[in-house]
């Protein structure tokens, strides 16, 4: 991945990255004629990346979305984060999607508290030191305006006296709460975090709680 603080794209270009068109699937039984299954879900805020929860009171889980049987999350997305979550029924495929050695880039739109300057963006790009070690170089840019997104429930609490901004952050690692810790380390606390793409897969037109099935044969080693 090339590291660089890039110029923000115009507001008109801030729609979701779009992959090849494919129909949105709502809860139903699906058979893929024996092919490996890859499901793209727009995980809502407040939902765990698992199918059960034993806490009291229990949190929302993936069980409420009528996903195909036997799939599980390939990687995780924190309960307070939103966006693209990949699920599969195949262990080797899940490994290829999540192992950092395969360098599947993950792209996030991140609302931060503060007014990012060039030095903060460059630090995120070069890599910052976290308590579990330095991060790899990342692609980071400030978005010219807020991207087109669904309303979050509950809404983000923004302090009127403090500015906020949106960043696009692309990383190839997958540490626990990594993007949030990265922005906090340079003085830019994360207010909202939405994952919009993993490798070649994008949210496209998926709304929160919607999912679609993709062809798992599209998985290729990163070059």
Residue 68's Cβ-side half-sphere holds a number of Cα atoms within 13 Å equal to 22
150, 82 contact by CB (below 8 A): no
174-179 long-range CB contacts below 8 Å, 24 or more apart? Answer: 174/75, 174/76, 174/98, 174/100, 174/106, 175/130, 175/132, 175/135, 177/78, 178/130, 178/135, 179/108, 179/110
Q: Where are the alpha helices (DSSP H) in 64-211?
A: 91-98, 118-126, 178-185
Query: Which position among 33, 53, 78, 115 bears the catalytic label?
Result: 78
- The torsion angle over the Cα atoms of residues 109, 113, 116 and 122, rounded to 10 degrees, is -60
Which positions ≥6 away from 190 have C-beta within 8 Å? Answer: 110, 111, 112, 113, 179, 180, 183, 184
Cα torsion angle, 157, 162, 164, 170, sign: negative
Backbone torsions φ then ψ of 164, nearest 5 degrees: -135, 165
Active site residue 78: yes
Q: For 200, which DSSP code?
A: T
Residues with active-site annotation: 78
């Amino acid at each position: 991945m090339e590291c660089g603080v890039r110029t923000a794209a115009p507001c008109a270009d801030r729609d979701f990255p779009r992959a090849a068109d494919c129909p949105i699937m709502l809860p139903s039984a699906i058979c893929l004629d024996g092919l490996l299954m890859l499901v793209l879900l727009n995980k809502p805020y407040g939902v765990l990346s698992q199918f059960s929860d034993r806490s009291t009171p229990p949190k929302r889980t993936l069980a409420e979305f009528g996903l195909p049987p036997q799939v599980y999350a390939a990687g995780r997305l924190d309960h307070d984060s939103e966006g693209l979550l990949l699920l599969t029924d195949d262990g080797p495929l899940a490994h290829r999607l999540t192992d950092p050695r395969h360098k599947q880039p993950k792209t996030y739109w991140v609302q931060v508290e503060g007014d990012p300057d060039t030095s903060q963006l460059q630090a995120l790009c070069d890599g910052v030191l976290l308590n579990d070690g330095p991060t790899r170089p990342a692609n980071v840019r400030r978005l010219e305006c807020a991207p087109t997104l669904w309303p979050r429930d509950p809404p983000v609490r923004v302090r009127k006296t403090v500015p906020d901004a949106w960043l696009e952050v692309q990383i190839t690692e997958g540490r626990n709460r990594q993007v949030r810790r990265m922005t906090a380390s340079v003085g830019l606390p994360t207010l909202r975090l939405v994952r919009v793409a993993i490798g070649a897969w994008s949210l496209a037109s998926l709304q929160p709680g919607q999912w679609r099935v993709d062809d798992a044969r599209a998985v290729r080693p990163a070059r």
